Amino acid sequence: MTEDDKSTQEIEIEAIGVEVSSEPIELYKVFKLANLVGGGGEAKYIISEGYVAVNGELETRKRRKMYHGDVFEFNQEFYVVICDADNSEYERTVNDSVTEEVRHEVAKRQVKPEKADSKKANSSNKKNKIGRSDIDFF
């Protein structure tokens, strides 16, 4: 076997699927979703101490972005991130169209700041207000 053969050699492993609703998702959150830890702090500690490998490389970044198909190893088990790609694409499309609609609506409603006339209106309102000193008590 040559060096090129070793680098392109494929191996088959069994991995436990971790379903996520959207991507990217931070690595420590995947640990929580997979119920591998009791909480986020524990997940962050495990990752920062070097107990996790992502896609075959040691990973110490707690907030590493994980995508559909990423494989991570922890405690001699392999896990793969599974994200419904159709759903993710749908969410991106909906969010993009909503953002575009909002931009158009904002452009239509160019709100101009109020001028000095509003100060006059506010001062006239103060004259019409009744305070405690204006009420006659017995």
Indicate whether 73 belongs to any domain: yes
Asked if the structure places residue 4 within a domain, the reply is no
Look at residues 69, 104, 72 and name the one whose alpha carbon lies nearest to residue 83.
69
DSSP string covering 53-74, please? EETTEE---TT-EE-TT-EEEE
Structural domain boundaries enclosing 76: 13-84
Domain assignment present for 128 = no
Residue 80 lies in a domain: yes
pLDDT (tens, 9 = 90+) of the chain, 138 residues, equals 566 666 677 878 888 999 999 989 999 999 999 999 999 999 999 999 999 999 999 999 999 999 999 999 999 999 999 997 554 444 454 445 445 554 555 455 444 445 555 555 555 555 556 656 666 665
Give the count of domains, the chain: 1
Q: Indicate whether this model's pTM tops 0.75.
A: no
Give a yes or no: residue 117 inside a domain. no
Is 107 domain-assigned? Answer: no
Count of beta carbons in the 10 Å neighbourhood of residue 8: 7
Residue 53, in any domain of the structure: yes
Residue 32 sits in a domain of what CATH number? 3.10.290.10
